[in-house]
Structure 1
Amino acid sequence: MSEFPVVSTGENVTRQVLSDHPELMVVAFRFGAEGAIGALHNHPHIQSTYVESGKFRFTLGDEEREVGPGDSFVIPSEMTHGCVCIEPGTLVDCFTPRRDDFL
């Protein structure tokens, strides 16, 4: 079990850091209901996302794609991205370098 707290990031969405190091961070985002939103944003970190469970519609720059369990992809630095939950589930994101704003 992670020593890090579960933090609400929006309606029916939580974030929990699972592990971290100055050069890498692993974070679980849990979406508890259809329609829950991961707001559009960008950041300087390179991000990889793995869909542990659920289904999501992602916006990645000018592209939209639906993803489900077992899917993964990389989001380049500064690319605007976000998602809408289609079926409740969990995304596991890795960031390099770590997201100090999550600590």
Structure 2
Amino acid sequence: MFVKSYPEVTADPGVRRQVLSDSPDLMVVAFRFLEEGTEGKLHNHPHIQSTYVESGRFRFTIDDDDFDVGPGDSFIIPSNAVHGCLCLEPGTLIDTFTPRRDDFL
């Protein structure tokens, strides 16, 4: 078994990102939101994304849909959908991307 270790980096103010594992077709990334009110700014990308809420509470926007999520919730963000989130309670999101997000390496 081959295990790589990736550093934790600042993604946005109050948000830390760490790649947990990757291959050309798949990537798993932890996003740690350190403070209430911190934002994952609206953006889009060609990757399909799955998000799992490990801890904390968040308000997500995907295109024109807003919804709140908490521990144990998960959902899919389609390719090129405009999305972002507001941290309601500090916590961690585990995001999976297909294919891999080379811009995170």
Q: TM-score, normalised by structure 1?
A: 0.98
Instruction: Give the Cα–Cα distance (whole angstroms) in 1 for the partners of residues 4 and 51 of structure 2.
Output: 19
Name segments (4+ residues, structure 1) moved above 3 Å: none
Instruction: Give the Cα–Cα distance (whole angstroms) in 2 for the partners of residues 2 and 36 of structure 1.
Output: 29
2:61 aligned residue (48, 59, 62): 59
> Partner of 1:50 in structure 2?
52
> Partner of 1:70 in structure 2?
72
Structure 2: unaligned runs, 5 residues or longer: none
Percent identity between matched residues is 68
1:29-84 alpha-carbon deviations (Å, 9 max, x no partner): 00000001000000000000000000000001100000000000000000000000
1:12-31 superposed matches below 5 A: 12-31=14-33
Instruction: Give the Cα–Cα distance (whole angstroms) in 2 for the partners of residues 84 and 8 of structure 1.
Output: 16
2:13 aligned residue (2, 11, 19): 11
State how many pairs are aligned.
Answer: 103
Letter in 2 for 1:18: L
- Answer yes or no: is the 8 Å Cα contact 1:55–1:88 preserved in 2: yes
Instruction: Give the Cα–Cα distance (whole angstroms) in 2 for the partners of residues 54 and 2 of structure 1.
Output: 27
Structure 1: unaligned runs, 5 residues or longer: none
